[in-house]
Structure 1
Amino acid sequence: MKVPPSLNEATFIVAEYKAQILRVPELPLPFSTVKVLEQRMWVEALLLVLLFLLLKKVWSKPDGLPPGRWGLPYIGSIPFFSKLTLYEHLKDLQKKHGDIYTWRMGTEVIVFIHDYKLTKEILNRPEVSDRPDWIFFTLGDKPPLGIGSTNGELWHNNRRFSLRQLRDLGMGKSKLVAAVHNQATILVEELKKQSGQPAPVPHAVNVAVINIIWQMVASIQFEVTDPKMIEFQDLMTNFNKVTDRAYFHDLFSWLPQILPSALSDRLFKLDHVRNLLSMLSVYFKKVIDEHRATLDMDNPRDLIDNYLIDLEGDEKLPVEMQNEKNLVWIILDLFFAGSQTTADTLRFTFYYLANNPRVQSKLHAELDEVLGGALATLEDKARLPYTDGVINEALRMSSLTPIGIHHLVRTDIQLAGYTIPKGTVINNVTQSIHTDTRYWKDPHQFLPERWLDDKGCFSTKKEGFLPFSVGKRQCVGEGLARMELMIFLAAVMANFTITPPPGKTIDSSPDPVSPTFHITRVQDIVFTMRK
C-alpha cells in the first residue's frame, strides 16, 4: 500500500522536532572552569616529572659511588645465563672498572675492593668495623650475640674476653703444645690405616682440629669414633652448608615478606638454620651445665670456667655479657671460625704437595734434618723456614675467604676519591689480592721459596697477604691456627709421602658448591708411609 505524501511530511516534522530537543547546545565554558582544567593539567604534568625524577633516582646509581653494576630496584644486577663463578664475575668487573667498584645485589649495595693497600686502609677504619644485620651472621637470633655477628660494645667486650682467654690457655704458647702433639699422633695413626690406598683425607683431620678447640673451651678431648664427636662434626658440617643459602635471603630480604613462610623457609633453608642452631645450643648448654656443677672458683680449667666465674663471681663481666646465651654464641663462633677453616687448609696443603713432588722432597729433607722424627714444638719454628713457607703459600693459594667477610659502613666515608654512603657493604676480594702480580710473581704457582730470603731464612711477606684479614676484625685465632698447621703438617709429612692415585690427578681448585668460602673437593689421595 502506498503511503500518502501528507503522512511522510508529518513523520519528517516529528523527527526534526525530536532532533532539536536532543541537540546539546555548544555553549562556551565559564572562565573559572577553564582555569581549573589548566591547573589540573599543570599538576598532572608536574607529577609526571616528579615520578620520572623519582624513578631515575631509584634506578640510577647515586653520585659518588664507584662505577659498577646497578641494575633494577629490589633485584639489582643479576648476571643470568652465565657459567662464571662469583669470583670470575668479580675479576671481570675488575678488568672493566678497576680495583674498586660497586655491585648492587638485590637490595644490598656492595663495594668490592681488589687492592691490598685500599683494603688495609678501609678495614683499619672504625667506621667499617661493623657487620651487616644479616641472617648469614645472626642466624635469625635476635639480638645478635657472640663475636662474629655483634657490633659496638658487646662485640668489643666479647672479642677482648675471647682473645685474652685463648692467649692465657695456650694459643701460640708451649702450654697447649702437649694437646696438639696428642692429636697429631692420633692423626698419624689414622692415616697409617689407609697407607698406600687411594682414599679421601680422613675425617680424623677435622677431629684433631676440633679437639684442640674443645681442649681450650671445655678441657674435652674426644676419640675419633666417639658418637658425640661424630654427632658434633655432623652438626658443624651441616651448619656450614645451610648458611650459604641464608646469604641469598639477606640479598633479597623482601622475598620472605611476600612469600608464604613455609615456602620461604624451604627456599632459604631457614628452618634448617633454626633447627641446627637449636641443636648446637643444646649441645653447648649441656657442657656448660656440667662445668657449672664442677666449678672451682679458684681453679678455672678453661674458657667456660672463666666465663662462669666472671658471670657468677664478682660481676667482672660488662652488663651486656652477663647471660649464658652469650657464652653459647662465643663458643659457636670459635668453632665456626676455627675448625673447618684449619682442617680445609690442611687438606689444601696435602693436595698442593701431592701435585708438587719437588716441594715435597725439600719439605721432607728439612723435617728429617731438623726434627729427626720428633714432633715439632714452637721452639722449632725458627729452624723450619721451608715448612713455614709451605704453610704460608698454602694459605695464599687456598684463600679460604675468597671475597672476604662483609663489613658494614656505619657512616658516610671517603675512599679513593669516592663517597661510600652509610649502609653500604664492603668486601675485600682476598683471592684477587693473593694472586695480584704487583705483589706475587707467578701467582698461580705453588712456590714456598717465595717466603725465603737470600740466606734461606723465613721472611714474612706482609704486602699483598691477608689470610686472616686485617684491622679490628682480624681473626682472633690466627696464633692457634698457625700453631696447629705447623705441628700437624710436620707430623704428617715426617711419616708420609703424598701422591695422586695411579693414573689420576688431584684437583686442588676449590669446590664451587660454596659461593662465599673455599672448601676442598672430596677426592681420593694416597698417603704412603716413608721408610
Structure 2
Amino acid sequence: MLTLNLLNVQTVLVALTVGLLVYFIRRRFIYRLPPGPWAIPLIGNFEVYTKPLLHRVVLQLSKKYGPVTLFSFGPIRTVFLNNYEVVMEAMVKRKADFAGRPASVTFSLVSEGYKDIAVASYSPMWQYHRRVAMKALRNYQQGDLLEKLTQDNMTKVMNMMATEKGPIAMKSHLNNIVFYQLYTLCFGENKEIGDPDVEFLLREKDLINKTVGNGLREDMLPFLKDVYPSGRYVIIKEAADRVFSFLHKLLHEHQETFDPNNIRDFTDHLLVARSEAEKSGDDESLEKLNDTYLVQTVSDIFFAGVDTTRLTLEWFLCFMSGLPEIQAKCQAEIDKKIGRRCPSIADRQSLPYTEACIYETMRAGVIAGLGLPHLTICDTHVGGYDIPKDTVVLINHFALHRDTKYWKDPEKFDPLRYLDEDGKMDPTKLDSWLPFSAGRRVCLGESIAKSEILMMCVHLLQWFEISLPEGTKPNFVGVQRDFFGTECPADLRIIVKKRFK
C-alpha cells in the first residue's frame, strides 16, 4: 500500500511537471514574449526578486535583455518597461490595454475591496470615480484654500524647526508639514501639531507600511487568509479597519454639516457631486457615490500623497544641504522675486530655477523607482513583443530617470537640464521625466502636488539656510525603503539657521 501511494504521488508530480513544461512551451510558441532570464516553474526568477533595490537590478539586466524585459515572480509573469519609448507606447498609445491593476490581498485590504481609484482595476466604475475626483480637485484649486493652508501650516512647522538646536532628523517635521496639510485639504479642520486624530492616522499608516514590507504570503496564496492567516495579515486588516472606521465617521460628520454654499475641503467637493446626482435623479450615479466609494476617494488623495510628498521634500533637503551653491542660487531668485512675503501659487512662473531644482529632485531622488503595478486587460504588444492578457507590467521610473540618451551624467544634480537659454522652464526637455507616471493611470494629484511642493520648498529656503553638520560629507545615495523601488536619503540630518530675524 505504501509503495502504491508513493507511485501515485510520483505520477502526480511527473504529470504536473510535464503539464507545466507543456504550458510554458506552448506560451512561447503562441506568443513572442519579451526576453528575460530563464525562470524556474512556479518559483520564478528567485535570484532577481529576492535582491534589494529591484529597480536597480532590473536596469542592469535590461542592458542584456533590452528595454522590455520579462521576469517571473513566483508563478506571476511580470514585464518591466525600462525606457521612455516603450513606456509611451504602452501607457499613452495603447493606454487602455495597460490600465488594469493586478488583484492582491494587500490591495483589497487597503481599499475596502477595490473601492478606491489607486488600486481598483480599469472599468466604467473606475472611470466614473476618477472623473468625479478630478472635477473635485480642479474646483478645489480654483480658490485660494490650498495656498492659505500651505502658508499657515508651513509657518507653524518652521517656527518649531527654528527652535531646534544642532542637527535635526527631519522625519517628524516633514510628517507634520505633509500630513497636517493633507488632513486640512481633505477634511477642512486646521489641526494643531500633535492633534490626537491626526497622530492616530499617522501611526496607523506607518504601521501598515511597515507590516506590508515586501508583501504578504496571502498575495501569493489568497486562500490562506481564510484558513490560516498570517500575523502580518491580521495586523494590516485590523489597522485598516480602524482607519476606515475613523474616515467613515468624518464623512458622516461632513454630511450632517454640509452646506453647498460653503465648501470647506475636498470631502465637501465630493459631496457636491453626490448632491448634483440627487438633484438630477441619476440613481446610477448615486449608487456609484455611496459612502464607501467617497471614503476611498478621499483616502487615495490623503494617504497616497503623504509618503511621496514627504520623500520629495526629504530628497530636496538632501540635495540643497549638500549643494550649497545651488541652494544659494535658489535663495537669490526667491529674494529677488518674492522677498519676505509669503509665497503664492502664482509665484511659480517667477521661480524657474527653483522649480527646476524640484524637477531635478524628482528625477535624481528615487522617490518611486517602480510605482504601482499595471495589468494588461487584453492581449496587446509593446516594443515588438506580445504581452498576453493579465500580465503584470511595471514602469521602471529609475531606469527612465537614469537613461543617458536623455540625461547627460545622470548621477549629477543639474537643474539647468530643464531651462532654456533664457533661463525659463522648457517643456521640450521633459522627455523621460515621469515621476507621476503617464496615460490612464497618471497620478490623480499631480497638479496639486506640483503646486504645493513648490510652495513648501520655497518657504523652507526663504526662511532657512540649510547645511550639513560640520564634518559631514554630502551623500546622495539612497537606501531601500520598500519593495516598489522607493529609496530615502541615508541618515539625513541637517542644520537650519534662520536667514532673517
TM-score normalized by structure 2? 0.88
The one-letter amino acid paired with 1:385 is P
Q: Distance in 2 between matches of 1:134 and 1:49?
A: 30
Q: For 1:376-395, list aligned pairs within 5 A.
A: 376-395=343-362
- Aligned equivalent of 1:279: 242
Separation of aligned partners in 2, 1:259 and 1:320: 29
**Per-residue deviation, 1:493:** 0.6
Q: Please list, as runs of the form range in 1=range in 2, the aligned pairs for 1:467-482 lying within 5 A after superposition.
A: 467-482=435-450
Seen in structure 2, the aligned counterparts of structure 1 residues 249 and 500 have a Cα distance that, compared at 3 Å, is farther
Tell me, in whole angstroms, the C-alpha distance in 1 between the residues paired with 2:486 and 2:480. 8
User: Could you tell me how far 1:311 is from its partner in structure 2?
Assistant: 3.9
Aligned-pair CA distance for 1:221: 1.5
Answer yes or no: is 1:232 the counterpart of 2:214: no
| Equivalences for residues 348-387 of structure 1 within 5 A | 348-387=315-354
1:272 Cα deviation after fit? 1.6
Q: Which residue in 2 is equivalent to 1:96?
A: 64
SS at match of 1:209: helix
What's the counterpart of residue 23 of structure 1? Answer: none
Check the 8 A contact 2:140/2:269 in 1, yes or no: no
Contact 1:217 / 1:304 at 8 angstroms: preserved in 2?
Answer: yes
Indicate yes or no: 2:136 matched with 1:165: yes
Q: CA deviation at 1:449?
A: 1.4
Aligned partner of residue 478 in structure 2, secondary structure: coil
Q: Does the C-alpha gap of structure 1 residues 483 and 62 become closer, same or farther in structure 2, counting only changes over 3 Å?
A: same
The equivalent residue for 2:187 is 218
Q: Distance in 1 between matches of 2:125 and 2:246?
A: 24
What is the rounded CA distance, in whole Å, between the counterparts of 1:508 and 1:338 in structure 2? Answer: 23
1:108-143 Cα shifts (integer Å, max 9, x gaps): 111101110110110122111111112342227664
Corresponding letter in the other structure for 1:160? R
Q: Could you say if the C-alpha distance between residues 482 and 503 of structure 1 is closer, same or farther in structure 2, counting changes exceeding 3 Å?
A: same
Out of 20, 42, 45, the residue aligned to residue 77 of structure 1 is 45
For 1:119, what is the secondary structure of its paired residue? helix
Pairwise CA distance, 1:55:
4.0
Show the counterpart of 2:289.
322
Amino acid across the alignment from 1:231: F
Give structure 1 stretches of 5+ with no counterpart.
1-46
* In structure 2, C-alpha distance between the alignment counterparts of 1:493 and 1:140, rounded to whole Å: 36
Letter of the structure 2 residue corresponding to residue 353 of structure 1:
M
Residues in 1 aligned to 2:68 and 2:127: alpha-carbon distance in whole angstroms? 29
Q: How far does the alpha carbon of each residue in 1:143-179 deviate from its partner, in whole angstroms, 9 at most, with x for none?
A: 41011122301211111111111110127x6442111
1:463: which partner in 2? 431
2:176 to 204, 207, 211: 207
Q: Does 1:152 align with 2:123?
A: yes
Quote the offset at 1:318 in angstroms.
1.7
1:457: how far off? 1.4
Match of 1:270 in 2: 233
Aligned length: 477
Structure 1 residue 217: deviation in Å?
2.1
Q: 1:485 to 1:513 in 2, by over 3 A?
A: closer
Q: Residue 133 of structure 2 contacts residue 270 of structure 2 at CA under 8 Å; is this kept in 1?
A: no
Structure 2 residue 371 is matched with structure 1 residue 404: yes
Aligned to 2:154: 184
Tell me if 1:137 matches 2:107: yes
Output the amino acid matched with 1:280: V
Supply the AA of the counterpart residue of 1:145.
Answer: K
Q: Quick one: distance in 2 between partners of 1:243 and 1:50?
A: 36
1:288 paired residue number: 251
Query: Is residue 54 from structure 1 mapped to residue 22 from structure 2 by the alignment?
Result: no
Aligned pairs for 1:101-120 within 5 A:
101-120=69-88
Q: Deviations over 1:458-477 (max 9, x none)?
A: 21322111110110110111
Question: Amino acid of the residue matched to residue 226 of structure 1?
Answer: D
Would you say 1:128 and 2:98 are equivalent positions?
yes
Kept in 2, the 8 Å contact 1:209–1:484? The answer is no
- How far apart, CA to CA, are the structure 2 residues paired with 1:492 and 1:414? 46
Tell me: CA distance 1:244–1:320, structure 2 relative to 1, closer, same or farther (3 Å). farther
Judged with a 3 Å threshold, the aligned counterparts in structure 2 of structure 1 residues 485 and 143 are, in CA distance, closer, same or farther, namely closer
Shift in Å, 1:384: 0.7
> 1:327 & 1:81 partners in 2: Cα distance?
36
Tell me, yes or no, if the aligned pair for 2:368 and 2:485 is still in contact at 8 Å.
Answer: yes
Unaligned runs of 5+ in 2: 1-11
Question: Structure 1 counterpart of 2:131, which letter?
Answer: R
- Structure 1 189/101 Cα, relative in aligned 2: closer, same or farther at 3 Å? same
Inter-CA distance 325–82: structure 2 relative to 1 (3 Å threshold) = closer
Show CA shifts across 1:492-518 (max 9, x none).
111212121122235433331412142
Contact 1:66 1:418 survives alignment (8 Å): yes
Quote the residue 1:38 is aligned against. Answer: none
Tell me whether 1:487 sits opposite 2:452 in the alignment. no
C-alpha distance in 2, partners of 1:145/1:86? 29
Q: Are the equivalent residues in 2 in contact too, given 1:102–1:112 (CA < 8 A)?
A: yes
Q: Is the 8 A contact 1:115 1:433 kept in 2?
A: yes
| Residue number in structure 1 paired with 2:7 | none
RMSD of aligned residue pairs (Cα, Å): 2.6
Which amino acid in the other structure matches residue 396 of structure 2?
V
Per-residue Cα deviation, 1:218-270 (whole angstroms, up to 9, x for no partner): 212211121222222112222222333436643xx23x5479944x412xx11
TM-score computed with the length of structure 1 as normaliser: 0.83
Contact 2:110 2:240 in 1 (8 A): no
1:243 counterpart letter in structure 2: V
**Alignment correspondent of 2:4:** none
Distance 1:290 1:359, change over 3 A: same
| Greater displacement, 214-223 / 447-456 | 214-223
2:36 to 61, 68, 75: 68
Kindly tell me: are residues 287 and 451 of structure 1, through their superposed partners in 2, closer, same or farther at Cα, counting changes over 3 Å?
Answer: same
The change in CA–CA distance for 1:98 and 1:420 in structure 2 (over 3 A counts) is: same
Structure 1 contact 399–467 (Cα < 8 Å) conserved: no
Q: Relative to structure 1, is the Cα distance of residues 228 and 81 closer, same or farther in structure 2, using a 3 angstrom cutoff? A: closer
The one-letter code of the counterpart of 1:131 is R
Cα distance, 1:445–1:66 mapped onto 2, change above 3 Å: same
| Offset of residue 480 of structure 1 | 1.0
Choose which of 478, 484, 488 in structure 2 pairs with 1:510. Answer: 478
**What is the alpha-carbon distance in structure 2 between the residues aligned to residue 82 and residue 273 of structure 1?**
22
Change (3 A) 1:491 1:366: same
Instruction: Give distance in 1, aligned partners of 2:168 and 2:13.
Output: 68
Q: Which amino acid aligns with 1:301?
A: R
